[in-house]
Amino acid sequence: MRMVSSARAIVNVFAFAAVWGDILTGVKSLVTPSVSVKRVSISLSVKGSVYDEALTSRRDMLVKSAVISSGAMGIAFVPCGPSNADSSVASSVRIASYPSLEYLEPIFELKLSVDTLAKGTQNVKLRPYILKRLDKFFRGDLTSERNYYSGLGIQYVNNIEYEKEELSDYIKLDKESRLQAMESTLQSLQMLKQSLTEDIANDDVVTSNAKDAKDFLQKWFDMLPSKDFEAVDQLFKSTRGADANHDGKL
């Protein structure tokens, strides 16, 4: 357990340094806000008729670098609506290696939460709890959980290594497809939040927005190698088992 924790700490330090390097190169005028970045990891598991709102994470440095990455590169960098990327080209791009599981695990946790959320919206009695959790998810401007996951998506894409002989246009299309899928997920969650604030929520709109969020995030994961998905699933189960009291410590 100690070896796993130490390895993660090392990866996080390098991730933080790498992101800062990208930001300082592309955004020379960046001014880092003097705020305290909370450790966040969305959890929406159902317990009876309420949602678990535990916010724990073992990735302090990754959280900070992801938030900064999202804020510096622009939150709404991908236009709304259908992606312009050619999915057939994006899916055939030649990739040398994908980022380590350290970058993938928190996004996998988001997937589990969104899957649960989509199912929970079908129960009208659970919707007030879902709205409360979404309010917290989008609260905080730069340091919000929404921006944290947007930053993680950017980080992940930036750490994909493509084959040296791959065409730049193919690489661009591949990156656009991945970024669009993540951004569309977050936009769908925002639309879900808005639909839940209506005095009389439209059931079809609520469930449709929740399904869209789930489907877009699934699309993001569909672009990964199946072995990585299986590995992060096993890693998540192992770390959750080691973290018996869910305090973020192994």
Tens of pLDDT along 64-93? 454 444 444 444 344 344 444 444 555 589
Tell me how crowded residue 138 is: count the other CB atoms within 10 A of its CB.
15
Percentage of the chain lying above the pLDDT 90 cut:
54
* Structural domain harbouring 86: 2-242
Quote the CA–CA distance of 163 and 151 in Å, as a whole number. 24
Predicted model pTM: 0.66
Give the pLDDT mean for 117-143: 95
Residue 59 has pLDDT above 80, yes or no: no
Asked, for residue 82, whether it belongs to a domain, the answer is yes
Q: For the chain, how many structural domains are there in total?
A: 1
Asked, for residue 74, whether it belongs to a domain, the answer is yes
Tell me how crowded residue 3 is: count the other CB atoms within 10 A of its CB.
8
Tell me how crowded residue 82 is: count the other CB atoms within 10 A of its CB.
8
Residue 39 has pLDDT above 60, yes or no: no
Tell me the pLDDT tens digit for each residue of 90-102.
558 999 999 999 9
More confident residue, 88 or 193: 193
Asked, for residue 247, whether it belongs to a domain, the answer is no
Percentage of the chain lying above the pLDDT 70 cut:
60
The per-residue pLDDT for 194 is 97
More confident residue, 55 or 103: 103
Asked, for residue 220, whether it belongs to a domain, the answer is yes
Tell me the pLDDT tens digit for each residue of 1-24.
333 333 343 334 334 334 333 333
Give the pLDDT mean for 230-238: 92
Average model confidence (pLDDT) across the chain: 73
The per-residue pLDDT for 90 is 52
The per-residue pLDDT for 72 is 44
The per-residue pLDDT for 245 is 58
Helix (H), strand (E) at residue 34: none
Asked, for residue 248, whether it belongs to a domain, the answer is no
Asked, for residue 44, whether it belongs to a domain, the answer is yes
With the CA atoms of 24, 154, 44 and 117 taken in that order, what torsion angle do they form, in degrees rounded to the nearest 10? 140
Asked, for residue 87, whether it belongs to a domain, the answer is yes
Asked, for residue 148, whether it belongs to a domain, the answer is yes
Vertex 100, ends 236 and 243: CA angle to 5°?
25
Among the residue ranges 40-44, 51-55, 97-101, 199-203, the one predicted with the least confidence is 51-55
At residue 45 the predicted structure's pLDDT band, cuts being 50, 70 and 90, is very low
